[in-house]
Structure 1
C-alpha cells in the first residue's frame, strides 16, 4: 500500500529558493536527488553543511566517535528557551552526567512499573474515541491528548485532566505549531549577527510552560523530602544520584529534563500515532488484522506485550515513513575526510531520518506502507543500518523503549473497538513543526467496530 505522495521534491534549487522553501517547510524544500545521494554538500558564504545518508558514515558519527561529533549549538538556538540545558541539547561531560542519572528510570524493570499508568491512559483514550460520532475528526489533537495523558500519568501520576497538566498541554500545542524542530541556521548556517526565526510569542510560551513545570517539580521535591512521593518516573529520576559524583538533579536541572521528557514523549509519540492511524485507515486489511490481534490480546500485561507483533510492525513502519524528528545536526570537532571530500572543522553534519528511511538505494519500495518488510532480508538489514527514528549510538533517545511499548499499546487499544476510515479529498500533507505533522490535520471517520 502506497501512502500519500511525499512532499514535492524539486530537482534543483538555488540557495535563495532553498532558504525560502526551508522557512515554509523543511520537508518540501528537499530536492529529489537527496533521496538517492550518499552525501550532499551545502555551501554558504560562511561555512558548510553536509547531509549524510551512507550507513558507514552514520556509523562513524553516531556510534564509533560520537564525542568528535557533538550536538550542534545551532540547533539549540530555537529550542533553548524551552529546553534549557536538557539532555537533548547538552554535550560532553554535562550530557554524560545527565544520562547516568536518567537512564536507570527507563530500564526494562522500571518500564514494567509504569505500565499500569500507560494502560489506564490507553483505556481512557479508547473511551474518548468511541464517543467521536460519525462526523470526520482531526485525529492529531486526539493523538496529542492521548500521548500527553500517558506522559503525565507515568511521570507525575496525574491525568491530563489535572489543572496544571491541562495548562501545560494547551501551551505545548501553541508552541509546537510556532517553532520548527530545526532553525534555518542549523541546516543552512547563517552568520551570528543575522536574526533567528522564532517569535516573541514562542519565547513567552516557553517561559509559561517552564513556570508550570517548575511548580510540579518543586511540589514533587517537597513530597520526596516528606516521604509521601508516588513511585513514578519523576520520583525515580529525582532520587537517583550520579554514580560518578553522588550528585542529584537540582530543581532547575529537573525542569530542563521534564521539558524534554514531555516534548519527546508527547510530541513524538503523538506524531507517530496519528500517522499510524492514518496508514491503517487507508489500509483496511492491515487495520482488520491489528484489530483482531488486539481483541485476542484483550487487556494483557507488560510481559505479554510481545504478543502485539502486528501492532508493533505497523508502528515501526509509521516511524519509518513519518519519523517524528526528521533531521538531526552534529558539528565536526576536527577536519574529516568523508567520501574523499574534506569536511572542515565546524562543519554541520546533518543526519536525516526523513531521507534515510525513504532512500531509494537502501530500501525496497521505500515510499510504500508495508509492515511485513520487517521480516524480510532487506527490512532486517535496513533496520540495523538505515533506521533511526530515535537516533542511534550513545545518544539514542533514553525513552525509545518506552515509546515502543506505548505506541503499539495505544494503537491496539484504540482499534480494538473502533474502525477508522479516510475522509475523501482530505489527504494529509506532512510538514515539520516540532515534529512531522500534517499541514491541515489528519481527518478520519471513526465508527464502532462490529464483531
Structure 2
C-alpha cells in the first residue's frame, strides 16, 4: 500500500474543448492536467470566454482579500445551483450580498457557537447510537459517507430549527437532498456556452424536481417558524436569530421567501461540506491507524455531558481535521469574474474573464507545501505548515466572502470526529480505496466503505 492517500488521475495536457466539457461535467478534478499542481497560473481558452486559474498566494489574496468586490462570483457557477439556492447569499453579489451578510453574520458570532454546542453534542450522541446499532463482534463494513451525511444533516436541523433529523419534515428534506446531490454537477451547459436568458439552462428534470421538493419543504418550515416568532413561542436557535435580525442600515428583515433561499444554502453548505470532510477524515484515520489511536486516546477524555470548553482541548483532532480539509477540501474550486481589465503575472486578463481559485490545487501546490500529497497532521506545527496555513489554506474561502459558518464547521467537525473515535474503531478495506470526485462537494466516486467495530 502506498503511504500517500489517493487523488484522481489527471487528464492529458491537450484534449479537445468538447472532451474537456464532458470531463468537466463528470468530474472537475480529473478534468485538470497534472501541471496545475506546480503552476502559479494557467489559462484556459474556449470560443466564448477565457478562464484563468490562479494558484499563487499573492494572486489569491488579490482576488479574495484585497479586491473582492472587483471579482464577484461568476454566474456561470450560479446557473447550475440556482434551482435549489435561488437568490441566496452564496450566489449574490454587490449590495444584495452585503445586505444578506449584515443580517446573517450575527447568528454565527463566537458567542452563538457556545449556544449551539449542546445541539451539536446531541447530534453526535445520536450518530454514535445510530452507527452502533447491530455492531457486535467482528468489524462490519459500513458506508461512511452516508453515515456522515446523516450526522451532519442532524447537526443542521438541530442547530437551525431545533429539530432532530428523526422529525418527519427534517427526514423528508434529507431524503430529497440525497436524491438531489448526485443529479446536479457543479457546472452545467451555461458554464461553457453563453445562453440568452429566455433559453432553458440545461438542468436535468430530476434536478429541477428535487429542488422544487426541497424548497417546498423548507418554505413550510420557515413559514411555521415565522408564525412561532409572531406568537412569541419560537425556540432560540439559528433560524430564530436570523429571522429576527434587522439589517442595521435599513431596519429590514428577511421575508419568508428570502429566508427560504438562505436556509437552502445553510443546509447545502452546513451539511454537504461537513459530511464530505468527516468522511475523508475517517478514511484517512483508517488508512493511518497510528493517528487514529492518538485521537482515540485524546477523545477518551471527553466528558459525559456537553461542555464547550472541551473543544479547545482536542488539539490533535483539530490537526487531523485540518489535514483532511487540506487534502480533500469540500469545495474544490471557486469561480470569480473580472469586472475590469487586469494584469496577472504580466498577462492581460480581459474584463469578463473567469478567475478560478482552486483550493484543491492550492492545497497540494508542490512549490509551497512540504510533502504536498502526504498525510501529515503534524505539519501545522512546522514553519512550512504555519506559513502555508496563513497563505495557502482556504477550505472556507477567505476575505470578505469567506464562509460565515467556518467557525461552526470547525467546532462541529472536531467534536463529531472525537465522539465517533471514542466509541468506534475504523479499518481500511484492502483494495477498496475511495476515488475522490467533485459532485456538489468532493466525494468518493463509489462511496467510502470502512470496517467499523466498537472500542
The answer to whether the superposition gives a TM-score over 0.5 is: yes
Gaps of at least 5 residues in structure 2 are none
User: Counterpart of 1:223?
Assistant: 228
Which whole-Å CA distance do the structure 2 matches of 1:419 and 1:204 have between them?
39
Could you give the per-residue CA deviations for residues 60-113 of structure 1, whole angstroms, max 9, x where no partner exists? 100010010000011111111100100000000000000000000000101110
CA RMSD of aligned residues (A): 1.3
User: Counterpart of 1:56?
Assistant: 58
Which whole-Å CA distance do the structure 1 matches of 2:406 and 2:14 have between them?
36
Which whole-Å CA distance do the structure 2 matches of 1:199 and 1:183 have between them?
9
Which whole-Å CA distance do the structure 2 matches of 1:321 and 1:184 have between them?
29
Aligned: 1:291 with 2:296: yes
Contact 1:22 1:184 in 2 (8 A): no
Stretch moving more, 12-21 or 236-245: 12-21
Shift of 1:19: 1.8
1:41-440 pair list within 5 angstroms? 41-131=43-133, 133=135, 134-183=139-188, 185-186=190-191, 189-192=192-195, 196-299=201-304, 301-440=307-446
Contact 1:164 1:212 in 2 (8 A): yes
Shift of 1:381: 0.5
User: Counterpart of 2:42?
Assistant: 40
Shift of 1:132: 5.2
Count of matched residue pairs: 447
Calculate the TM-score normalised by the size of structure 1.
0.97
Aligned: 1:443 with 2:444: no
Contact 2:5 2:284 in 1 (8 A): no
User: Counterpart of 1:7?
Assistant: 8
Contact 2:311 2:411 in 1 (8 A): yes
Could you give the per-residue CA deviations for residues 264-321 of structure 1, whole angstroms, max 9, x where no partner exists? 0000000000000000001101000000000013345112311000111111110110
User: Counterpart of 1:30?
Assistant: 32
Which whole-Å CA distance do the structure 2 matches of 1:385 and 1:308 have between them?
24
Contact 2:25 2:186 in 1 (8 A): no
Contact 2:5 2:375 in 1 (8 A): no
Contact 1:87 1:99 in 2 (8 A): yes
Shift of 1:363: 0.6
Calculate the TM-score normalised by the size of structure 2.
0.96
Contact 1:4 1:428 in 2 (8 A): no
Gaps of at least 5 residues in structure 1 are none
Secondary structure at 2:259 match in 1: helix
Contact 1:305 1:405 in 2 (8 A): yes
User: Counterpart of 1:18?
Assistant: 20
